[in-house]
Each structure stands twice: as C-alpha cells, then as structure tokens.
Amino acid sequence: TQLLEQSPQFLSIQEGENLTVYCNSSSVFSSLQWYRQEPGEGPVLLVTVVTGGEVKKLKRLTFQFGDARKDSSLHITAAQPGDTGLYLCAGVVTNAGKSTFGDGTTLTVKP
Amino acid sequence: DTGVSQDPRHKITKRGQNVTFRCDPISEHNRLYWYRQTLGQGPEFLTYFQNEAQLEKSRLLSDRFSAERPKGSFSTLEIQRTEQGDSAMYLCASSPIYGTNEKLFFGSGTQLSVL
C-alpha cells in the first residue's frame, strides 16, 4: 500500500497553461516536501511545508499543505517547457525519521 | 560545488557478481540516506545513518545488501550476488538534522544494470 498517492500520474499540457497536481495520504505528516527530478539525475528539493494550511510560493509555483497535514497540492501558473520533469512529494511521518516518497507526476510542457 | 557525490554514475554487471557504490555527502550533514528508484516509481527507502550509526534498514531489503558509513563521512552500499531485479537507480542523499523538517539533498545516483 502506497503511503502517498500522487495524481495525475502523467500530465501533458501546452506552454502557458495552468495546472495542479496532488499528493494525498491517510497519514498525518510532520512535514511534506516537493521535489523535481529530471531524467538521469537525483531529485532536487523545491519546498518544505510544515504547518497545516500553509501556502508557499516559488515564482510561478504555489504549494499548499492541507489543514489536517495529510495532503498537499502544487499549482503551476503559465507553465513553461523548462517545467517539464517528474514532480515528487515526500513526507515525514511523526517519529519515523525518514522521508517516504510518492510515485510522482510526470509533467510535459509542450512549446 | 560541494553537493552530494556518487560514484560510479553507471554500473553494468553480470548476475551473481558483487557491486559496491560510494556516496560522499555534503560535509556538514549528519544524516545520510540510501534510496532505490525504478522507472515510473518514486524513490524507495533502503537505509539511513546518523553520523556513523545505521539507524534504520528497510524490512524489504535483502540480506545481500549492506551499507556502511565509517567515521560518519562517506558511505558505501554493497550488493552481493546481484540479481536482475536489482537493476535500478541507487540514490544517496544527505540532510542536516532539522528535527522532523526533513530536507534531502540528493546525488545524481548510480544506475545499475544487471545482465
């Protein structure tokens, strides 16, 4: 059973469109991270959210942590081809000591 | 650049052979993690160290896998008697201790192909 479910699994859009991807769980997380991974490379940390209801912005990316700290979303405004990649969410369950990853959303932005 | 370094980047081996991978973490980071990733999946936790102590090992991890972090610096991951199912990207990450506010800094990984 996957601890973190990400949806959609694949997303292909045109440059300039907006999109939202989701990360859901039945577990409560002390913190949740979003990473972006390119083929043949390791994931790169984008953001960490800690407080329920927290919203963080990183240029055109907006991250939200659910009030109950069980889910999160990533919204991208005016997507660009450079946003193409695998978006992974990862969470730390209280006292677990390690991050557990979802299977990611593969985003393709076409010029 | 003082990011996480992994060596080798690619390894091709025959079934039954032993392989060893090395990871050099960011120097001031206390925690070091090993993950495995296959195509279409997210990274799967294998084991982690705090300084030289191995604090947790995945229950899914075969006895053929062993990891060490002597002196709390670099780490090695050894796979004995490799099987085709071991083919994957092996990722190392390090992290400063922020309590539960985890931030992982990954290396570029070692891509293992077992023929």
Q: Which of A12, A6, A16, A9 is nearest to A76 (CA)?
A: A16
Q: Which of A41, A50, A103 sits opposite B41 (nearest CB)?
A: A103
Residues A70 and A52 sit within 8 Å (Cβ to Cβ): no
Q: What is the pLDDT of residue B102?
A: 73
Q: Which of A33, A95, A100 sits opposite B45 (nearest CB)?
A: A100
User: How much is the average pLDDT of A3-23?
Assistant: 96
d(CA B33, CA B25): 9
- Quick check: B81 contacting A, CB < 8 Å? no
3 state SS of A83: helix
Which residues touch A36 (CB under 8 Å, ≥6 apart)?
Answer: A43, A44, A46, A85, A86, A87, A88
CB contact under 8 A, A33 and B104: yes
Q: In chain A, how long is the greatest CA-to-CA distance?
A: 44
Instruction: Give per-residue pLDDT as tens, B7-47.
Output: 999 999 999 999 999 999 998 898 999 999 999 899 999 99
> How close does chain B come to A92, measured CA to CA in Å?
7
Instruction: Give per-residue pLDDT as tens, A20-76.
Output: 999 999 988 888 999 999 999 999 999 999 999 999 999 999 999 999 999 999 999
CB contact under 8 A, B42 and A104: yes
Residue A64 identity (one-letter amino acid): Q
Q: What is the pLDDT of residue B60?
A: 78
Q: What is the pLDDT of residue A84?
A: 97
Instruction: Give per-residue pLDDT as tens, B59-108.
Output: 878 899 999 999 889 999 999 999 999 999 999 999 987 655 678 999 99
User: What confidence category does residue A95 fall into, taking pLDDT thresholds of 50, 70 and 90?
Assistant: low
Q: What is the pLDDT of residue B111?
A: 97
Mutate to test the interface with A, among B39, B50, B102, B105 (most CBs of A within 10 A): B102
Read off the tokens for B9.
């980047």
Under an 8 Å CB criterion, which residues of A touch B?
Answer: 4, 6, 30-31, 33, 35, 40-45, 48, 50, 88, 90, 92, 94-95, 97-104
> How close does chain A come to B108, measured CA to CA in Å?
5
d(CA A101, CA B78): 23
User: How much is the average pLDDT of A72-84?
Assistant: 97
**Is 90 exceeded by the pLDDT of residue A97?**
no
